[in-house]
Each structure stands twice: as structure tokens, then as C-alpha cells.
Amino acid sequence: MADPNHCNSLSITDNRTGKSYELPIEHGTVRTMDLRQIKESEDDFGLLGYDPSFLNTASCKSQITFIDGEKGILRYRGYPIEQLAEKSSFLETAYLLIKGELPDKERLAVWTYNIRHHTMIHANLTKFMDGFRYDAHPMGILVGTVGALSTFYPDAKNIGDEESRKLQVRRLIGKIPTLAAMSFRHHLGFPYVLPDNDLSYAGNFLSMMFRMTEQKYEPNPVLEKALDVLFILHADHEQNCSTNAVRSVSSSKVDPYSAIAAGCAALYGPLHGGANEAVIRMLEGIGSVDNVSAFIKSVKSGKGRLMGFGHRVYKNYDPRARIIKKIAFEVFEETGRNPLLDIAIELERIALEDDYFIGRKLYPNVDFYSGLIYQAMGFPTDMFPVLFAIGRAPGWLAQWIEHVKDPEQKIARPRQIFLGAPCRDYVPLDERPSRGDDEEKFGICRL
Ligand code: CMC
């Protein structure tokens, strides 16, 4: 009799044995654990899926962020990013991501109050900050200090306790901008600025970054709004590299500070949060609009990448890049035009007409214009990934909570295909043949 679920299943024949199997399909996926039953012989381990870099593997079920990379769609909890960027605020969006629904007036007020009243850090953390070298990269400082928060809040290890989770969420969203601003001022040798809880989330961050001797810092409203929107645009992006790091590390049931520090570490890399910093360095390297064609040629010949272009998921214009391009012009009205903008516009124009980029579906991503805005606002390039981390924190936390509550999740532990040496006997040092000219043979390395 025909299986009524047949149309929702995958039939596989193992040509090694001639045996056939039927695997259920749910939500357009098969479970790779279902492959395990496919064996060549009784003592065979069973078939594994091989998917380096998770190109075609879903690691979780999620209700937080939806992306259609082909169409260039991004939604948080169902709300289009364009509407949130235009109408919401960063803290409201953070609430949406973490709690699943937009808050009513009262809830938003309480949420905002709670985040604003967790902006202070323990004074000992200041000493920890002082221990970094004067030229330490602020993102390296952020990785270290966010991780260090776990030692100040040992209660955070109660990850199964909902009240504790709520508290850590408020602490993290509240304190990350404080740590971020301190990492910047440490570099300059300026005294740290205490949080000003009268200001908005973005306004307080600008105050902690740039306030000097004035009694009260008054943020430029255009820049304050632009920064708030940039935080919204970065707030979540489903299972990206840093979110995967957060989920993977928290699968060991470690506290959220350690897991979010892992997210910051992943974000530090030039292919992820470091990309907008790399875009500015690239634009500075190109130097002038006249050199753009030659630069594009060198990228096509395999000498480096066009930073700020391409995305694992978007095979269309990144919707965030569209919004950011518009903000860039609003910010430049206040700050004056960033001279690198003309090079960026020319790069985009040429790349979008070029078969190399069209054929590979490489379009500007979120990082292509964001660095130009940050630079015009007075942030040094080293701070760009740190700004990304402030924006991404609510997304990481929403994904962390979802992960902790998901009964299907276990400790993340991929398999491997072992292609190394077979079992062999240890050879005593005197009996080993010379191994040729490898680097260890060329002498002791002294610093
Ligand atoms: N410039 C030139 N060629 C590129 C680029 C680029 N930016 N990105 C991809 N390609 C080429 C690549 O060489 C390959 O060509 P071929 O098929 O001839 O070998 C093809 O396009 C596919 O590339 P891939 O490396 O397999 O794609 P991926 O999905 O693994 O990489 C990416 C995605 C974002 C790492 C990559 O596009 C990249 O390195 N972009 C530049 C860095 C960047 O802007 N990163 C920010 C990403 S968005 C923010 C975030 O998530 O952090």
C-alpha cells in the first residue's frame, strides 16, 4: 500500500548494497541523523553528511530572523527591516528580537529603564581595561572584557533560570556600549566617561565616546538617529558566523558572557565584522576614482577581494546596504562629504556592470557604506567591528535564549572525515630519520 507520507519523503538507494531507504522530509529538510541507518555492513558506523562551513546545513529551528537571499528580504520576527529602520528604535527592536513581539508603551518604558540602569560597570573592570597596551585593538579589548563580565556575575551560570537570563540580557545590552567606549578612550589616554542615563541608548554611547570637558554632552540628533538605525540594521542576521559561535559555545551550557565573548571574537575577523574596516583600508589604498578600474581588474585576476561585496546568503542587493546608502547622504549633510565616498560609488557602479560580479551575484553588503558613515561621525576604523558588536548583541542574546530553551539542542559536536595516518608505532628520537628542511630546523626563533 502506498505510504500516505510518501510525497513528504526522500527515497535513497545505496548502490553499494542495493538497499533502499525512505527519509522523511520536514520543512524542506532531511535529518542527517536519518542517514546513519545507511550502512555498508553491520559494523559500519553509518553514512555521514559532509558539509564544511555549513553551506547546506540547518543547525537549528528558529523563529527570530527571516532572510530570502535571492530576493534580498530581511525580517525580524516578521517585520521588514525597512519598516523597523524607519519607524522603530534600537531598544524597541532589541525587545522585539528577544521577546518575540513589539512592546506596548508601558513595557517599552520599563525595558528602556532597565537597560539604561545597567550601563555602569564594576570599578575593577576599569583596572582590567587599564592592563591592555595603549595600542590594543578595541575589538580585542571587547572580547576580553565581555568575557571578564562572567567573573563579576557568577549567577549568570544559572542559564536554566528565566529570571537570571532576563537579568543577564539587561546587563549585556546595557554594558556593551560602556565597554566599547572605554576601549576607545583607553587607546587615546582619555579618562573614561560615566554613562548618562538621561540620554538615549545611541546618545549615551556618543557621550561616553566623545564627551570632553562639557557639563552635559548633547549629541547631534542626526548622528544619534543614524547610529540608532545602524544598530537596528546590525541587530540580527540569523545563523551568521558569530551567532553560530554564540550558539555553539553556549551549547556547552556556559554562561552568556563567555558565549557572547565568543561571538565578539568571531566578529573580529575581516570576513565578518571586520569587513567595514577592511572596506575603508581598501578605499584608502585605491586612493582616487582614477584607480578604480585598475583595482577591479586586480580583484578579477584573483589579487584580493572587493571588500563590502558578496554575501553567503544574499545573492541580491543586501537590503541593509540600500538603507545605509541613504543614511550616508543624511550624515554627510551634517559632517561634510567623506572624500572616499566618490571612490565607493565608482566601485559600485563598475562592479554592478561587470560580468565577473554579475555572474557570481556579488552585490554591496551591509559593510560597503557603513564604514564611510562611521568615519564621517568621527569613529576610528578600529572601532567599526565594535560598533557592529553593540548592534548585534540583542540578536546574539535572542538566539542564545532560543538555543537554551530548544529541547532538540545538545552540545554542538560535529563529526569529521579522518584522512590522517593509520595506527603506527612510536619511534624513539635516536632512531628517526632526518625530516628535511622544515622551519624548526632553521634555528631558534627569538623575539
Ligand atoms: N570580491 C571578489 N570576488 C568575490 C568576493 C568579493 N568580495 N566575494 C566572493 N567572491 C568570489 C569568489 O572568489 C568566488 O569566485 P570563484 O567561484 O571564481 O572561486 C565566488 O565569488 C564565491 O565566493 P565564496 O568565497 O565561495 O563565497 P562565500 O559565500 O564563501 O563568501 C563572503 C561570502 C562574504 C565571505 C565573501 O563574499 C567575501 O569575502 N566578501 C568580502 C568580505 C565582506 O564584505 N564581508 C562582509 C559580509 S556581510 C557582513 C557580515 O556578515 O559580517
Phi, psi of 88 (to 5 degrees): -95, 180
Pairing of strands 73-76, 65-68: antiparallel
Most confident of 274-283, 311-320, 384-393: 384-393
Question: Residue 53 CA: which ligand 1 atom is closest?
Answer: 30
163 near 141, Cβ under 8 Å? Answer: no
Which residue is catalytic, options 187, 234, 311, 403?
311
For ligand 1, whether the C-beta of 320 sits within 6 Å is no
Q: Pick the range with the lowest mean pLDDT from 61-75, 145-159, 304-318, 381-395.
A: 304-318
CA distance from start to end of the chain: 75
Residue 312, pLDDT score: 87
Strand 73-76 to 19-24 pairing: unpaired
User: Among positive and negative, which fits the CA dihedral 185, 190, 196, 199?
Assistant: negative
Convert the pLDDT of each residue in 307-340 to its tens digit: 999 998 899 989 999 999 999 999 999 999 888 9
Contacts of 30 (CB under 8 A, 6+ apart): 10, 23, 24
Cell triple for 258:
563567555
**pLDDT score recorded for residue 285:** 95
Instruction: Tell me how far apart the alpha carbons of residues 314 and 142 are, in angstroms, rounded to a whole number.
Output: 28
pLDDT in tens, 34-47: 999 999 999 999 99
| Catalytic residue (choose from 228, 236, 318, 367) | 367
318 C-beta closer than 6 A to ligand 1? no
Amino acid found at 407: P
Q: Is 309 in the pocket of ligand 1 (CB under 6 A)?
A: yes
- In this predicted model, what pLDDT tens digit does every residue of 231-275 receive, in sequence order? 999 999 999 999 999 999 999 999 999 999 999 999 999 888 888
pLDDT the model gives residue 446 = 61
Whether the pLDDT of residue 363 is over 90: the answer is yes
What is the structure's pLDDT at 1? 42
74: β partners: 67
Q: Is the CB of residue 367 below 6 angstroms from any atom belonging to ligand 1?
A: yes
Per-residue pLDDT at 76: 98
Mean pLDDT, rounded, of the chain: 94
72 lines ligand 1 (CB under 6 A): no
CA of 127 to the centre of ligand 1 (A): 40
CATH T-level fold of 275-375:
Cytochrome p450-Terp; domain 2 (1.10.230)
- The rounded percent of the chain whose pLDDT value lies above 70 is 96
Going from the Cα of 75 to the center of ligand 1, the distance in angstroms, rounded, reads 23
Q: How many percent of the chain have pLDDT more than 90?
A: 91
Domain ranges of the chain: 75-274+381-405, 275-375
User: 75-274+381-405: what fold?
Assistant: Citrate Synthase; domain 1 (1.10.580)
Q: Find out whether the beta carbon of 385 lies less than 6 Å from any atom of ligand 1.
A: no
Residues with Cβ within 8 Å of 355's Cβ and at least 6 positions away in sequence, in order, are none
Q: Is the CB of 327 under 6 A from ligand 1?
A: no
Question: Cα angle vertex 316, ends 315, 321, to 5°?
Answer: 120
Cα of 317 to ligand 1 centre, how many Å? Answer: 14
67: cell is 532572510
Write 304-307 long-range contacts (CB < 8 A, 24+): 306/282, 306/347, 306/351, 306/357, 306/362, 307/270, 307/275, 307/278, 307/279, 307/281, 307/282, 307/367
pLDDT of residue 2: 43
CB environment 176-211: b (16+ within 10 A), e (fewer): bbbbbbbbbbbbeeeeebebbeebbbbbbbbbbbbb
Backbone angles phi, psi at 24, to 5 degrees: -65, 145
DSSP string, 166-193: HHHHHHHHHHHHHHHHHHHHHHHTPPP-
Active site residue 367: yes
Q: Is 161 annotated in the active site?
A: no
Contacts of 288 by beta carbon, 8 Å cutoff, 6+ apart: 343
Distance from the alpha carbon of residue 360 to the mean position of ligand 1, in angstroms: 9
Mutation to probe ligand 1, out of 74, 239, 306, 311 (largest number of atoms < 8 A from CB): 311
Question: What pLDDT is recorded for position 434?
Answer: 86
Query: 109-132: per-residue pLDDT in tens?
Result: 999 999 999 999 999 999 999 999
- pTM for the whole structure: 0.92
